[in-house]
Structure 1
Amino acid sequence: MESYGSTGLEGLLHKSYTVKISEYIGSGWATLKKNLGGFVGFTLVVFLINIAIAKINQSASPVGTLISLLISGPLNAGFFIVAFKLLRNRATTFGDFFRGFNNFLPLFLVSLISSVMIGIGFLLIIIPGIYLAVAYTFALPLVLEKKMNFWDGMEFSRKLISKNWFSFFGFAFVLVLLNLAGALLLGIGLLVTIPLSVCAIAAAYADIIGLPSSTSDF
């Protein structure tokens, strides 16, 4: 697991790397098992929040959509916060899953703007949307872990992943298949496959970008 300063991060754009799909999924599973109850419990909380938002939307009120836009980034960051702590062999608590709200604005912005860009891409004959959905894989963890602003995180992720986009597409495709399998188990399997997917992405981030233990409080 190699670490990089800000200069080293830019240097990554000039280095080659390999996307190790099976290794990342294996590492993700090992990370998930370290706090299986916490990950499953948090995923259930996220499900319940989304159900509540859906019920609000049934009343034709825009409030539910607004709430979803506001909280999705910080909530998704919670998975990465705990995964990163476990990859650094640090102790975790259930409260760590909600620490994304301590860094609300940049996480909200990267989630919102990347979703808008991907949505526009899908409107443009679908292919640009698929490209951006894969290319922004590291945008949220970069904003979270490297304290980048939302646009720099999105652009750095896009440039880095575009160097090996088709391999990342294969990685994303495997994760989609895992979650489809989880959905087939009456949806219950998603309680495991969703956090497994995030832990696998965290493993890829640690391998390709680096996860130094001295530069973060999680």
Structure 2
Amino acid sequence: MRIVLAEDSVLLREGLVRLFDEAGFETVGSYGDAESLLAGIDEAKPDVAVLDVRMPPTFRDEGVRAAIELRRRMPRLGVLLLSQYVEGTYAQELLSSGDGGMGYLLKDRVASLDELEDAVERVSQGGTVLDPQVVAELLSRRSDPLATLTPREREVMTLMAEGRTNAGIAKQLYIGVGAVEKNVTSIFQKLGLEDSGTDHRRVLAVLTWLQR
């Protein structure tokens, strides 16, 4: 089986290549960012693409965007996303087409050669592989996305609904502005509010909160 890999961490990338080799797979392309992967995909002609969710330059959703583009170019290509954290929004976006051959695993799962090999085999055959923690996140979203907010995120959300800025929230909660920003980003992700470039996510989050 021919595999292409996109992962910005050199150590993890080399480790994955060795794991693929032990599993009997052939790594035909290894890249440090999504742009390089997309540029070399036609020549590599892989059966499966394994991508980190967050890569340079912004470390946000480059892997997801690249996965969607790869499937547009090569509908039969198996795609396996790896993430350090549970990011249900990205998993949901990847799976929204309803097509098979997709997978989403947490990086700590790749320590098991058998589990990684099984995931690659399944997506190559058109199956779907989801990390159990990702499944739990998606199920919780279906019931009530607000229920997934932590107590701190609820405090931030309440103050956000009051119209306070991040600096105002930080002052009120006696935490740093950076901590507030992390909580706000997490809230957006849990509510499925991706940055479309047009919608004001802060307003949409507040509307969701007020409608609970």
Q: TM-score, normalised by structure 1?
A: 0.25
Give the number of the structure whose alpha-carbon radius of gyration is greater: 2
Larger relative helix fraction: 1
Q: TM-score, normalised by structure 2?
A: 0.25
Larger relative strand fraction: 2
Higher-RCO chain (CA-CA 8 Å, sequence separation at least 6): 1
